[in-house]
Amino acid sequence: MEGDEAGELKENAEKGSENQAMRPVAFTMSVLAVLVAITTVLGHRTHTDAILFQSKASDLWNEYQARHIRAHDTELASGLLSTLNVADKAAAAKLTQTWKDSLAKSAQDLKEAQEKARAFEEQVELAEHKANRFDLAEALLEIALVITSVTLLTRSRIYWYLGMAFAAAGILSALSAILFK
């Protein structure tokens, strides 16, 4: 019995030292899981920003179009009024001048609405680029996590190092999304 117990103790000691050797791998996997979660959340938020910016840009383009139609209608009415034979020429001239003033202001408003819409479209593009980088980072970190987990099955550290390389690429991609302006 004592011989069996000694063998068991020796076996447990060997397993304990193997488990000790795999602790850094397990810790790395935990860190990678957290990084995947963070990157996923940042990517989703960035996609949401892109959608919100696109919605604002669409609203501004709709406003631009409505103002443009209104200005065109005013211009047509002004031209029509100038060709008609009107009894009160002074009132017609005053109305025509009011419409011309309105058209001048409308032209400025159209230009401002157009600039705002284009600014939001630029923000959409920027958010989409950032979101794509976060998506790439998420994929690379997930690959790193899977490859690193193979280390626990094979006890070969080469998979851990390969996983770390993918993790570094994923972290760089996430950082480029954060720093991308």
pLDDT greater at residue 84 or residue 166: 166
Closest CA to 31 of 177, 154, 149, 181: 149
The whole model's pTM is what? 0.71
Query: Across the chain, what does the average pLDDT equal?
Result: 84
Chain centroid to Cα 87, Å, comes to 62
pLDDT top residue among 75 and 167: 167
- How far apart CA 38 and CA 11 sit, in angstroms, is 40
